[in-house]
């Protein structure tokens, strides 16, 4: 039975992923603020260390897969927390659990990114600040930006970190595949929070989705399960857009 850790497992996409993997026969180690195997706050360095220690104890030092799903939406008023959870809460867990993934010999990890990373405004100084790893500077910078800028910037930084890291000897060379899912609007509590926001609500409703409507958390879970499976052993460093065709509509000339 494979051991798979899932952050943000108590609700939304994370809960759907955890349920899907459990149905597929995995031992799921959930990480969240509540209702999880490991209770930890990924917005703080101390909480991330607690999460790493908790997962390590639960998997006995051998982890077959990790899904970094926990995140805060752009409507959250604490913009610094958005950056801390969405970038550092994922990147530091991946780095911290790398040795446990390597112990599995053939392991895989998936991060939940966003199609907002390819939209105007995602590129900002916040991206490079995240990649440089100074959380104090990132949090200070986030306080001066809008929630959408911080959300997209943190997700873009995480995706760029993954793309740079995936092909290295420490990851691909050690038998660990890193991939990302760039999700579009999906019916979750996070999306509902955005829809109820005075500014972001109308913007989300006007967001073009060629297939019509919003996705379901199970749509993302199905792709994550596939990326973690042995059927995708040759997929590494890729970003899969699961957004009803929005990215293709907006950036049809790029791939």
| Cβ 178 vs Cβ 226: under 8 Å | no
pLDDT tens digits, residue range 81-119? 999 999 999 999 999 999 999 999 899 999 999 988 887
Query: Distance between CA atoms of 146 and 208, rounded to whole angstroms?
Result: 22
What's the CA dihedral at 115, 86, 76, 41 to 10 degrees? 150
Confidence of residue 251 (pLDDT cuts 50, 70, 90): confident
What's the rounded mean pLDDT across residues 205-209? 72
What's the rounded mean pLDDT across residues 200-204? 64
What's the CA dihedral at 229, 65, 109, 111 to 10 degrees? 110
Query: Distance between CA atoms of 18 and 149, rounded to whole angstroms?
Result: 29
Residue 44 confidence (pLDDT) above 80: yes
Of 208 and 178, more confident: 178
Residue 200 confidence (pLDDT) above 90: no
Confidence of residue 75 (pLDDT cuts 50, 70, 90): confident
Can 151 be counted among the known catalytic residues?
yes
Catalytic pick from 87, 151, 200, 214?
A: 151
Angle 90-96-97 from CA coordinates, rounded to 5°: 90
| Cβ 16 vs Cβ 181: under 8 Å | no
DSSP codes joined into one string, 77-129: S-HHHHHIIIIIHHHHHHHHTHHHHHTTSSEEEEEEEEGGGGSTT--SHHHHH
Element (H, E) at 193: helix 189-195
Q: pLDDT above 90 covers what percent of the chain?
A: 75
């Amino acid at each position: 039975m494979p051991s798979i850790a899932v952050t943000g497992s108590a609700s939304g996409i994370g809960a759907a992923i955890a349920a899907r993997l459990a149905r597929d026969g995995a031992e799921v180690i959930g990480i969240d603020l509540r209702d999880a195997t490991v209770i930890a706050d990924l917005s703080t360095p101390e909480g991330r260390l607690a999460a790493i220690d908790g997962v390590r104890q639960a998997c006995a030092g051998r982890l077959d897969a990790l899904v970094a799903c926990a995140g805060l939406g752009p409507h959250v008023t604490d913009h610094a927390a958005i950056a801390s959870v969405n970038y550092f809460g994922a990147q530091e867990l991946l780095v911290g659990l790398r040795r446990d993934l390597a112990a599995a010999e053939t392991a895989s990890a998936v991060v939940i990114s966003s199609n907002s990373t390819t939209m105007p405004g995602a590129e900002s100084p916040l991206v490079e600040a995240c990649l440089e790893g100074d959380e104090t500077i990132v949090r200070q910078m986030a306080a001066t930006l809008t929630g959408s800028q911080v959300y997209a910037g943190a997700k873009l930084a995480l995706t760029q970190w993954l793309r740079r890291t995936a092909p290295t000897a420490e990851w691909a060379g050690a038998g660990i595949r890193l991939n990302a899912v760039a999700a579009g609007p999906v019916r979750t509590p996070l999306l509902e929070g955005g829809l109820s926001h005075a500014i972001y609500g109308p913007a989300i409703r006007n967001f073009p989705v060629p297939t019509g409507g919003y996705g379901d958390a199970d749509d993302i879970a199905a792709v994550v399960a596939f990326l973690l499976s042995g059927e995708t052993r040759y997929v590494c460093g890729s970003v899969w857009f699961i957004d009803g065709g929005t990215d293709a509509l907006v950036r049809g000339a790029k791939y």
